[in-house]
Every structure is written in C-alpha cells, then in structure tokens.
Amino acid sequence: MKLIHDVQEMQQTVLGLKRQGKRIAFVPTMGFLHEGHASLLREGRNRGDVLVLSIFVNPTQFGINEDLASYPRNLEGDCALAESCGVDLVFAPTAAGMYPPGFQTTVALGPLTKPLCGASRPGHFDGVAVVVTKLFGIVQPDVAFFGKKDFQQLAIIRQMTTDLNLPVEIIGMPIVREPDGLAMSSRNSYLLVEQRRQALCLSKAIQKVRELFNNGETSVDRLLGEARMIITAVAGASIDYLELRNSTTLEPAETATADTLFALAVKIGSTRLIDNTVLGDNL
C-alpha cells in the first residue's frame, strides 16, 4: 500500500494505471475510519483492479462554528485499517494542495441541497460538491462508494455526476450500525458515556416509525409525532430536523409509502448526529 500526499503525484499515478487498463475503485472519506468505511473499502476491493482511499478533512464543507479544528484525525490508524481492507493507494492531500492560492471555482447545485442538512448547514453541500468533483478529477475512478447514512449527500453526488456527465458509477452502501443500533459515525467519538446511551434515541425513533409503517400507519403527522416523543423524552437531545420526504426528489411526503425517506438530525449535547431509513427497505 502506498501513501501519497501530493496532488500531481496522485493524478499521474492513477492516469498511468488507467493507461494500463486498470479499473479504479474509489472510497472518499474524511478519515477517522470505522467499520462503516471498511464496508465500503471491502466492496471496492471486490469491484476494482486498484482500490484508492482518500482521507481529507475538507474545510470548505464546514460552516462557521462547526467542528473543523476538532474533527477527529488518526492517519496512522486509518492506514492500518486501509491496508487490512486491501487498499492499494491512500491519497491524503493537504488543504493547501487541494485549494491553492487564488482558488475560486464552485459547483452550482439545485433543489436537492435545500432541505434537511442543506437548511441546517448553509454552504455545506457546495463544499462537498467542489471537493468530490476535484477528487474525481484527481483519482479518475471508474466506480466510487458512499455510505447511505449521508443520504442527501449521496443523492446530490448522484445528480451531480449525471448532470456533469462524469464517467463514474456511484454506489450507495448500507448504513453500518453498532450492535445496539447506533449508526457508526466518526463523530460518535465526541460522545461521553451517558451521551452515547442518549444517542440511541435516533435508532429507536427509526425503529418505531418503521414498526408503525409496517403495521399500516401512513400518516406523516402521526409517524413524526411518535418519533418526536421518543427523542424529546431524552435529556440532552435536541431536534435539528425530523422529516419524511420522497427518497428521490427529497420533496416533503404527503403520506408515507415504501419510497418515503425518514431522515433526522439530532444534537446530543453539542454533537450533531444524523440517521435515516427508507421505509420500504429491508434491513
């Protein structure tokens, strides 16, 4: 496994591999890897001749007073996990390398960015779109893997890839959960012991909404009301958003169907966690 920091070296390396006819599988991350990332890497190993992992805490997708400076980092541990998953190349650029002096280009996005995390974190998806476009240009992947926990991000990247005719197959991978149901996230490391227990209200709300839907409940108000009661009963939990939306357009759902996305963002103390489910999906 080779670790590369320089943008030009990374680009020249993969272009050379492409000229040899190699299929490039790519997993872009912000590092501090966990089993959720590992599941993407293992699938990438199965689908490509060369597996590339990027580790880059992208400053342009963090807003004012967000956790850029404190975002967890562990390059040595990440490389160990990457090697165990069969990664060939780790690309860990610097912010200066990705955004040199004078950088000014943006990617204009549409309605998919407006609700949910887009409403709570203005400008967040603009930063995501720019860095993903740059990474695709540098790594030249044939196929790229993203987790469904960031459902809106995945939808936006799919749309952007289609709209810009980027020759990359986008694969969404299932949410990986701890045994007690908490969705794996690098930000879980912020949680204190009691907060870790409180954070289970997200998966409990999901379980309740799915149970009610499977028993025939389709009222958006009733489903959200039940979920809200579970979360507000937890001390230290505050709701950012709790919504049922069309899983393709992200428009608000008028009634729950198998294609309806239940998405939520909840703060546990100062840590913002997200989770979701599509009601008709088999888990």
Tokens of 108: 């204009």
SS3 268: strand
CA distance 88 to 37: 15
Taking the CA atoms of the chain, what radius of gyration do you get in angstroms? 19
The residues near 184 (Cβ < 8 Å, ≥ 6 apart) are 34, 35, 36, 149, 175, 176, 177, 178
Which positions are annotated as active-site residues?
37
Q: Would you list the DSSP string of 48-97?
A: -SEEEEEE---GGG--TTSSTTTS---HHHHHHHHHHTT-SEEE---HHH
CB 119 within 8 A of CB 83: no
- Torsion angle defined by CA atoms of residues 34, 31, 92 and 46, in that order, rounded to the nearest 10 degrees: 30
Q: Nearest-CA neighbor of 251 among 49, 149, 115, 154? A: 115
Cα–Cα distance list, 32 to 36, 40, 222, 261, 266 (Å)? 11, 14, 38, 27, 21
Q: Nearest-CA neighbor of 151 among 104, 194, 118? A: 118
CA distance 169 to 26: 10
